[in-house]
Amino acid sequence: MAIDHARTPATPRGGRTETHQPWPELPWRDWGATLATLHRWTQIAGKVRLALAPPLNHFWHVVLYVSPRGLTTSPIPYGLRYFQIDFDFLDHRLLVGVSDGKVFQRSLQQESVARFYRELTDGLRQLDIAVRISPRPMEVADAIPFPSDEKHATYDPDHATAFWRGLVQADRVIKAFQTGFVGKASPVHFFWGGFDLATSRYSGRPAPRHPGGVMNCPDWVMEEAYCYEESATGWWPLNERFGPAFYAYTYPEPAGYRTAGVRPDEAFFDSELGEFILPYDAVRQAPDPDAAVLAFFQSTYTAGADLGGWDRRALEPAALPGRPPRGSWSR
């Protein structure tokens, strides 16, 4: 019998079928300890990719990606083999799969960063993968080295799953937004340093040197990351004032950007962060959450591009997909 996958709901471990709201309420007032631990666990996996993957501009080679079950490094080359590290936030497993058929897996559970670091390092060694990473976390205030971090040791499975469900919605809508651009643009990816899902559009012009100053991050990293003018959008789950939120900024920030009119009405410019913010809670309560996020992204991009003098005619398609082939576009 053929299975209609579009009509068959996912069945989590234990065989219990569940349905979920597309934009669920997220327990952001309570999930801080779990996310602080996950922040460091994902940095360990990300630094493995950083150590082994061929470099790409703007550090695109170090990022993680949202997967159907959690987060993934995507394939990492190691000699003539590939391997991949996956966080499964449904069955709560860490999986390392190698192209030669070898596998290392273990539970994601209540344990310290130090233990997770040792277990992953030992697991890679069992797979004949030798890698050395910088043991100090980046872009966090309490940058305790991974091998000695017993402070961050919280893993609530429900909070981890909720975090992933937020990522899934953000990833889906951000990718939809990126169809409206034909200039240079980044993939939609998860930066483990800032612990945010992000994408950027570029004007094609060099940008002023970034001033740096990001905590526990070398200035040259930011200088490379921001070497071209960009309009960035993303989703960040960690703010304690307004919870998870979509954000947008333009670098360098053009005059008049902070007071530009953006949509929807719930969006605002946060001077502390230097970014426009649209809280996730406002989105999920909107009549059409997808439309609210897309309006936020489009209006903040338009404000930055127009005020910054970008050549939007060259950077944007004449029609959104499915559009006709380029040769038949009308200008």
The 10s digit of each residue's pLDDT in 11-23 is 334 434 445 678 9
Q: Is the pLDDT of residue 6 over 70?
A: no
d(CA 225, CA 248): 16
Model confidence at 210, pLDDT cuts 50, 70, 90, reads very high
Q: Examine residue 114 and state whether it is found in any structural domain, yes or no.
A: yes
Q: Examine residue 322 and state whether it is found in any structural domain, yes or no.
A: no
Q: Examine residue 182 and state whether it is found in any structural domain, yes or no.
A: yes
The 10s digit of each residue's pLDDT in 105-143 is 999 999 999 999 999 999 999 999 999 999 999 999 999
> 187 and 137: one domain?
no
Q: What are phi and psi of 248, to 5 degrees?
A: -155, 140
Domain finish residue from 117, 148, 179: 148
> 309 and 164: one domain?
yes
Maximum separation of any 2 CA atoms in the chain, in Å: 62
Q: Examine residue 93 and state whether it is found in any structural domain, yes or no.
A: yes
Q: Examine residue 267 and state whether it is found in any structural domain, yes or no.
A: yes
pLDDT value for 18: 46
> 125 and 243: one domain?
no
pLDDT value for 93: 98
The 10s digit of each residue's pLDDT in 294-322 is 999 999 999 999 999 999 999 998 877 66
> 253 and 309: one domain?
yes
The 10s digit of each residue's pLDDT in 157-200 is 999 999 999 999 999 999 999 988 999 999 999 999 999 999 99
Q: Examine residue 244 and state whether it is found in any structural domain, yes or no.
A: yes
> 162 and 303: one domain?
yes
> 95 and 171: one domain?
no
Domain containing 269 equals 157-315
Of the candidate ranges 48-62, 81-95, 198-212, 312-326, the one whose mean pLDDT is the lowest: 312-326
pTM for this prediction: 0.90
pLDDT value for 159: 98
Q: Examine residue 8 and state whether it is found in any structural domain, yes or no.
A: no
The closest alpha carbon to 60, from 215, 208, 224, belongs to 224
pLDDT value for 161: 98
Q: Examine residue 19 and state whether it is found in any structural domain, yes or no.
A: no
> 61 and 99: one domain?
yes
Domain finish residue from 107, 125, 148: 148
Domain finish residue from 131, 148, 165: 148
> 162 and 309: one domain?
yes
When pLDDT is averaged across residues 31-53 and rounded to a whole number, the result is 97
> 202 and 80: one domain?
no
In the chain, how many domains are there? Answer: 2
Contacts (Cβ under 8 Å, ≥6 apart) of 265: none
The 10s digit of each residue's pLDDT in 239-276 is 999 999 999 999 999 999 999 999 999 999 999 999 99
> 141 and 257: one domain?
no
Cis peptide leading into residue 264 (ω within 30°): yes
d(CA 136, CA 145): 4
> 144 and 161: one domain?
no
> 51 and 133: one domain?
yes
